[in-house]
Amino acid sequence: MSEPTGGGRKNQGGPALALLAAAAALLILQQLLLWWLYYHYGAKQLVGDETRYWSLAHEILDGAAWHPSDTWPPAQPLFIALTLLVGGDSLLPVQIVQTLLFFGCGLLVFVLWRRISGNAIAAGIAAALFVLAPSNAAYAQYLWPEVPHLFLVLAAFALLLQVRVRVPAAIAAGVAIGAALLFKSLLAAFWPLLLACFVVSWRPLRMNLRAAAAFVLALAVTIAPAVVAGHRNTGHWRIADSSAINLLIGLRVPDRNDYIAWPGAGLFQDYIASGADSDQRNAWAWSEIRADVQETPLPTLVWRQLGKQYFRLFESKTLLVGQLPGPACAGYLGAYPDVPGWLALIVRWSSHLFHALILAGFAFGLCMQRNWRRLGSWLLLGFLGYQLAIYFGLLAISRYLLPMMPVMCGFAGDAYAGLAGASDGASFTRLRLIAGSLLAALLLFLAFAAPWIDGYCRF
């Protein structure tokens, strides 16, 4: 590194501290706004599966089975029940713990991208984008398992993406991945790729077998009680399985926006009523899926899925925005009661702003990335690609974008740090700028264009 470059970076301490202070102030303001929004006008209504998690947690506290479902993993009701047991029968303890976990996610985003990019400023921007986005932060106040699951996944990545993974770190990472699977089964087909972290040499291929075995064993021990309970419930050695009904809903939902003419609830009720056990219900779901696939030419099916799935996944009407007051014909649930128009406007447009900054920054950061030698970059990008692939078919809604946000924010941090001259991790050539512009335009189109395409009422 040349002297002028190094000296220039030393002189960035003052602006960096000023930006850090501004980010801290904005974070405090954001948290005050979200808590005020949730409680001041009457507590927000629980929506969808929130009511199921809340009721299951109380049933567990009353002595019911800790893993009663053959469809949903058990960890979120257990987590809520444990928090209620310690903190009292209120939403507030759960929200406080999840808020701390959310801040922990932000810290882990910084740690991961500092390690991958080698640039503290880029990592700081990535973490700031993640924690300051109102739609991300709001998940800490909801009862879905997104935040605990994501914290565990990021913790596992931070433990594994080291120069050499030692046995204690491997055990901790295995426990984290196992626990993440107990919250959401998202990683079921991805986690074996993490064994690449134990490769010592690729040519010839050599692995740290002790650490790899410790990782797999810790993961297996962590999920073993749930697998045994799943066998008791279904006769199959698995935690839970909702893939069939999620695929059926993903094929059947016609809209590009969440909660417009939403058939998911009705399909799930049909699924539950279709049989006395999971085998019968899954057989019904797969028969419906086969009928849909056989009746639809493959090019038509592919085009139909491409034309709706990723609009819902990337849409700017995030779960926070979608619960604000607004017309039902635009997919607004009104779960936040009596919110004045000025406050709803602030929340909506601040969410849209951060959503756009993250998507556009990710596009440019990905296309302008120079350092592809690090395994961490490939694993995290693979984690993102894996999710994009499964949501081609499975039910895709805006809530499922949160696990991808740390990766997107990481690449966005590289891009914005490069634009500011604080990082040399991005290459701003003409071809890369064109590619980044095209990808950014595509992602922003997916995020904002659906209401105009479908002609829904606009709000």
Residue 157 forms part of a structural domain: yes
The reply to whether 6 falls in a domain is no
Spatial separation of the C-alpha atoms in residues 379 and 384, rounded to whole Å: 9
pTM of this structure: 0.93
Number of structural domains found in the chain: 1
SS (HEC) of 15-42? HHHHHHHHHHHHHHHHHHHHHHHHHCCC
142-190 pLDDT tens trace: 999 999 999 999 999 999 998 889 999 999 999 999 999 999 998 899 9
Exposed/middle/buried for residue 188 (C-beta within 10 Å: 0-12, 13-18, 19+)? middle
Classify residue 190 as exposed, middle or buried by CB count within 10 Å of its CB (0-12, 13-18, 19+).
middle
Give the length of the chain: 459
pLDDT at 3: 37
- Domain assignment of residue 11, yes or no: no
In a domain, 27, yes or no: yes
Sign of CA dihedral 178, 180, 184, 186: negative
What is the span of the domain harbouring residue 183? 18-454
Per-residue confidence (pLDDT) for residue 235, from 0 to 100: 86
User: What are the φ and ψ backbone dihedral angles of 200, each rounded to 5 degrees?
Assistant: -90, -35
Q: How far apart are CA 314 and CA 445, in angstroms?
A: 9
Q: Which amino acid type is present at position 2?
A: S
pLDDT at residue 70 in the model: 84
Q: Is residue 2 situated within a structural domain? A: no
Encode pLDDT of 210-229 as tens digits.
999 999 999 999 999 999 99
Residue ranges of the chain whose pLDDT lies below 70: 1-16, 261-264, 425, 458-459
* 238 in a structural domain: yes
**4 in any annotated domain:** no
Cα–Cα distances in angstroms (integers) from residue 420 to residues 151, 158, 380, 436, in the given order: 29, 27, 24, 17
Any domain includes 130: yes
**Cβ density class 51-89: b for 16+ within 10 Å, e for less:** eebbebbeebeeeeebbebbbbbbbbbbbbbbbbeeeee
Q: How confident is the model at residue 21, as a pLDDT?
A: 87
